Amino acid sequence: MNHYMKKSIQQYQAENKNKARLLIKCPDQPGIVAAVSDFLYRHDANIITSDQYTLDPDGGQFFMRVEFYCPQLLEKAEVLEEAFQSIGEKFAMEWQLLYVSQLKNMAIFVSNEPHCLMELLWEYQSGDLMAHIALVISNHETARETVESLGIPFYYIPANKDIRKQVEEKQLQLLNEHQVDVIVLARYMQILTSDFVKNYEHQIINIHHSFLPAFVGAKPYERAYKRGVKMIGATSHYVTNDLDEGPIIEQDIGRVDHRDNSAKMKKIGQAIERVVLSRAVKWHLEDRIIVHENKTIVF
Amino acid sequence: MNHYMKKSIQQYQAENKNKARLLIKCPDQPGIVAAVSDFLYRHDANIITSDQYTLDPDGGQFFMRVEFYCPQLLEKAEVLEEAFQSIGEKFAMEWQLLYVSQLKNMAIFVSNEPHCLMELLWEYQSGDLMAHIALVISNHETARETVESLGIPFYYIPANKDIRKQVEEKQLQLLNEHQVDVIVLARYMQILTSDFVKNYEHQIINIHHSFLPAFVGAKPYERAYKRGVKMIGATSHYVTNDLDEGPIIEQDIGRVDHRDNSAKMKKIGQAIERVVLSRAVKWHLEDRIIVHENKTIVF
Amino acid sequence: MNHYMKKSIQQYQAENKNKARLLIKCPDQPGIVAAVSDFLYRHDANIITSDQYTLDPDGGQFFMRVEFYCPQLLEKAEVLEEAFQSIGEKFAMEWQLLYVSQLKNMAIFVSNEPHCLMELLWEYQSGDLMAHIALVISNHETARETVESLGIPFYYIPANKDIRKQVEEKQLQLLNEHQVDVIVLARYMQILTSDFVKNYEHQIINIHHSFLPAFVGAKPYERAYKRGVKMIGATSHYVTNDLDEGPIIEQDIGRVDHRDNSAKMKKIGQAIERVVLSRAVKWHLEDRIIVHENKTIVF
Amino acid sequence: MNHYMKKSIQQYQAENKNKARLLIKCPDQPGIVAAVSDFLYRHDANIITSDQYTLDPDGGQFFMRVEFYCPQLLEKAEVLEEAFQSIGEKFAMEWQLLYVSQLKNMAIFVSNEPHCLMELLWEYQSGDLMAHIALVISNHETARETVESLGIPFYYIPANKDIRKQVEEKQLQLLNEHQVDVIVLARYMQILTSDFVKNYEHQIINIHHSFLPAFVGAKPYERAYKRGVKMIGATSHYVTNDLDEGPIIEQDIGRVDHRDNSAKMKKIGQAIERVVLSRAVKWHLEDRIIVHENKTIVF
């Protein structure tokens, strides 16, 4: 990590040391917001932003994200969490209290095409992607120089479907060593096993180079060209055991026309992939996403 | 009004008879959300959606919009409003309690180009624009047949800058008779006097056919063509005494290129105007907009 | 047809009586453009716009669209067509010479949802959709009043899959009587048989309410909601024997989020459908589209 | 320049050694296209793409861009140019014959914000921006390391309005030494004198951080925030003597809302600036742009 970046992260942590986020998911019933806001008020916290959503017809599920400011937050963290316990129980909540200054540890997986990795590193250097990039793992050597020049450990682990088990063992060991919270598949062209995925439920973010559910699977640009579509897209989603079927976080598209062959589509698509993945990763880092069944609520 | 529409409005009112919206603007301080949500909880109201925003650096202004469901709402309206009085005073709030089933009375002003009027009438007929369109006023006869075929009163009031005062007197009288709450200038090409405007502060919505603040004033498409822009736009805003300077509600744009002369730009622009005005009017009808200084908060 | 519209069509035809379009498709080889432009020059024609495209890797197919002005065009039409015959043969062209003032006869098919029909009628009334709308055929009575008020014949033909053959016989008879050139399926919810389709190859334009190839078939908004997509779309394409698989003419999309259920998605989608179908129909009427294999070249 | 890039440029030049582009601007009259296409045919050239445009009402100006393939192009270059001379004279053309394999020499000027420079360098490294980046000139040291790591000469020339003349003398000397064809102002925050500009007419590309003509001049994001716009934009244009008034090449926009203060707008805007400048520079390098009066035709 270079000096500029270190300063930026330290500055960010200092500025946000009294900020936290509360994520809530529970059956809907009267009084939830009153209970939460009263709790915050009694603990001298001031709400910065608050979003909520009730999923009506399908059973009255309630979702909430509150970002608040609380003097001496980190000193009071334990007290807050303990005190919130009873509210959580009363309303049968799944809840998380997340401290803005505690950055997530991120691993990036990449194969041969570096554009998505490059975008993330760029955002990281600009101070716009607030995480600790703990390591980059690749089945190609392509990105080593760029990654290491930023002081980020780079691990080359050759991979193919015949040695998947050994590869994933090595990867999991590295992820454990680096205490990784979130894995970004920045165009990593290997399929992960369900054994691997279950360790990081809703913590693995993939970018698929099509507008899902169109062109699930391999070679989407070639297939988009063959079908003669007039727009191509990209989709960022959490990884589940079903290929390209996990909860969608973000999508975007770009125009193509008859002059664009699949190589040109790929170029146009790469610019979309960069933007879509970058948005999805930032929303995850900002604790904006709640997964419910196979969908995301993005606050 | 045709039968289909009457049914749609009645159905909407029946479905929403227990829904209300609370709009709040006050100096920021701890405890506002707790007080509001506690108030609603104590009156058996269940929050449907809630949005808030704090304007930080410029003095800590707090804004909130809550949509809630409350059994027997209309019977309890007076009690609710009285009870909220003390909260309003405590926090020095400007606040409004609005009942979803009480539709706003709308007047539409139009000149010779009917596309924006047509879009609004279409949305109205489809049950997507929930207001009582009380009357249409025009300085041309063009739209009479279409408007009257929907059972909406149409008033032809010739206008020019020399008879502005008399014209506005007639208009104000009609607006009073019809108890109009909101005026939509759907490409009405006459300037309103400040005497007129002060009667309807933040209740007159205009569509300007440029991406403001570019091309304030007359003939924006001609000027856009002359400047050689690659995109044109439209802006919907509340009318104030400063021409095209009121709080912006919504904007959108479309691409043009060197082949598009000002006539073609106008055609492209009209499609944008329709969409932008329609969005702004709906947001106003749904009580999503709070005006602060010369800007809008759109929840 | 009302007076305003008649005038607009007559005016259009008068203004364009000396304009024609030449559409060409042939194997690529040197000298095509030189031959065509020399031909036009020798016949006193001046090129207004000219577009060409060579499909390279897949066999060197050449496509061209020229719009030109030629004094006394209609008097010279026969001579021109005969003279171009030898160029066409020399380069093994499929070619068409189309006269801008000779409007196409259009039939619109619609079922219960009128929004796409309404958009087309609107454009027609505004003088922006230059065709003769010869008739509207529907399996519902919903749109009769609107259609007939514009002086357009409306035919109610109840339809379901059990009587498909009889229904299509009636439809074909009407289409023949009205000498229809192009059929627009403006949300017509019946499947056409291959016997019907073969009569109008690349002359039937459909709007499908999804971003194809995602959500081929029934209930795309419901399925889009279920999948949790963040954007929905619409696709206009020529009808072939394979459901929703014909050459795509135009697509567009709109953003949705977790708050939008399938009913809301449908509303958002309808606005996209209107725009996409309207663009595709206009491009067809302006002879901008050449079909090659299962794709369109849109000049 | 690293090895990968050298290979990419050499490969590009090899693949395109027989490709050229002809740019034409002249008064409209019959026979131009016939003459040009006949010329190419007689010299064994095959047209790859051809675009033309006639500016009708304002005096019948004709514009054309032809990209063609011609075996032994570079050997025949002199012959071609001489032979075209008489056609050019006959039709009073301004014309240019440009060889695709002869890359333009580019200088990039940058101040303290590196995002636009970074985007150009990225595209350059990816082989998507086909030019020789001959040098980078900056009035800050910020970008030195990045630029020099790619083997591109970096010149630090401190600048302010009091020493403008000396600064520009140094800059011009460097530009001459490096035989620069095109200058990209990638957020260079110094005003260029008319003496400087006249040396590079329509060869200096600037990025302005607003949707021109809105917010001409300094601090556009601050002013956009103050005005309460709902979209911000960026504009790339050729530099003339009138600040921010030169011919517009490309524009794009992004959505903002009341939550976005001017710092956030700046972040959103930087992503737009990157894309808009990058597109404009590529179009210039591909000889797609013809300037006419104060506008661009972009083919």
Q: Count Cβ atoms below 10 Å from residue C94 Cβ, excluding itself.
A: 11
Token representation of residue B136: 């249409």
Q: Would you call D165 exposed, middle or buried from its count of C-beta atoms within 10 A (0-12, 13-18, 19+)?
A: exposed
Interface of A with D in 98-117 (CB under 8 A): 115
Cα-based angle D92, D64, D88 (whole degrees, multiple of 5):
25
Q: 3-class SS at D62?
A: strand
Q: Would you call A151 exposed, middle or buried from its count of C-beta atoms within 10 A (0-12, 13-18, 19+)?
A: exposed
Token representation of residue B212: 């403001």
Helix D115-125 × helix D3-15 angle, to 10°: 60
Q: Which amino acid type is present at position B217?
A: G
Token representation of residue C239: 């009808």
pTM of structure: 0.94
pLDDT tens-digit map of C168-226: 999 999 999 999 999 999 999 999 999 999 999 999 999 999 999 999 999 999 999 99
Q: 3-class SS at B188?
A: coil
Cα-based angle B155, B159, B165 (whole degrees, multiple of 5):
100
Can you tell me the ipTM of this complex? 0.93
**Strand-pair partners of C204:** C183
Whether B258 and D211 lie within 8 Å, measured CB to CB: no
Report the pLDDT averaged over residues B120-133.
92
Whether B57 and D250 lie within 8 Å, measured CB to CB: no
**CATH code for the domain defined by B17-99:** 3.30.70.260
Q: 3-class SS at B281?
A: helix
In this structure, chain D runs to a length of 299
pLDDT tens-digit map of D237-269: 999 998 899 999 999 999 999 999 999 999 999
Whether A48 and B54 lie within 8 Å, measured CB to CB: yes
Checking if the pLDDT of B148 tops 80, the result is yes
Of all residues in chain D, the percent with pLDDT exceeding 70 is 97
- How far is CA A163 from each of CA A110, A166, A167, A240, rounded to the nearest angstrom? 17, 6, 6, 21
Q: Which amino acid type is present at position D281?
A: V
pLDDT tens-digit map of A192-206: 999 999 999 999 999
Residue burial A176-190, b: 16+ Cβ < 10 Å; e: rest: eebebbbbbbbbbeb
Report the pLDDT averaged over residues C229-254.
96
Whether B118 and C118 lie within 8 Å, measured CB to CB: no
Map out the domains of chain A as residue ranges.
17-99, 105-298
pLDDT tens-digit map of D57-94: 556 999 999 999 999 999 999 999 999 999 999 999 99
A125, containing H or E segment: helix A115-125
pLDDT tens-digit map of D85-128: 999 999 999 999 999 999 999 999 999 999 999 999 989 988 88
Q: How far is A142 from chain D (nearest CA, A)?
A: 11
Q: How far is A77 from chain C (nearest CA, A)?
A: 31
In whole angstroms, give the CA distance from residue B84 to residue B43. Answer: 11
> What pLDDT sits at residue A1?
45
In whole angstroms, give the CA distance from residue D248 to residue D241. Answer: 14
Q: Which residues of D are less than 8 Å from B257 in CB distance?
A: 298
Whether D244 sits among the annotated catalytic residues: the reply is yes
> What pLDDT sits at residue C33?
95
Report residue D1's pLDDT band, with 50, 70 and 90 as the boundaries: very low
In whole angstroms, give the CA distance from residue A222 to residue C151. Answer: 48
The top-level CATH class assigned to C105-298 is: alpha beta
Report the pLDDT averaged over residues A208-219.
96
Chains that touch C (3 or more CB pairs under 8 A): A, B, D
3-state helix, strand, coil in chain D (%, to 5): 40, 30, 35
Token representation of residue D121: 């360098």
In whole angstroms, give the CA distance from residue A94 to residue A98. Answer: 13
β-strands B94-99, B61-69 pairing: unpaired
Q: Would you call C232 exposed, middle or buried from its count of C-beta atoms within 10 A (0-12, 13-18, 19+)?
A: buried
Report the pLDDT averaged over residues D17-33.
96
Q: What are phi and psi of B98, to 5 degrees?
A: -120, 135
Whether B52 and A47 lie within 8 Å, measured CB to CB: yes
Report residue B58's pLDDT band, with 50, 70 and 90 as the boundaries: low
In whole angstroms, give the CA distance from residue C33 to residue A150. Answer: 54
Interface of D with B in 206-245 (CB under 8 A): 211-215, 227-231, 233
Sheet holding D94-99, edge to edge: D46-55, D61-69, D19-27, D94-99
In whole angstroms, give the CA distance from residue B4 to residue C146. Answer: 14
Q: 3-class SS at B171?
A: helix
Checking if the pLDDT of C258 tops 80, the result is yes
**Strand-pair partners of C61:** C27, C55
Tokens 């095959």, located at residue? D46
Could you tell me which chain B residue has the CA closest to the CA of C278? B271
Token representation of residue A267: 């170029």
In whole angstroms, give the CA distance from residue C238 to residue C296. Answer: 9
Q: How far apart are the first and last CA of chain B?
A: 31
Interface of C with D in 12-51 (CB under 8 A): 28, 30-31, 33-34, 37-38, 40-41, 44-51
Token representation of residue C107: 């039939």
> What pLDDT sits at residue C57?
57
In whole angstroms, give the CA distance from residue A175 to residue A172. Answer: 5
In whole angstroms, give the CA distance from residue B120 to residue B188. Answer: 14
β-strands D182-185, D204-208 pairing: parallel
Q: What are phi and psi of C106, to 5 degrees?
A: -115, 135
- How far is CA B128 from each of CA B8, B125, C269, D120, rounded to the nearest angstrom? 9, 8, 14, 46
Mean pLDDT, all residues of chain A: 94
Q: Count Cβ atoms below 10 Å from residue A6 Cβ, excluding itself.
A: 11
Of all residues in chain B, the percent with pLDDT exceeding 70 is 97
Report the pLDDT averaged over residues C112-125.
93
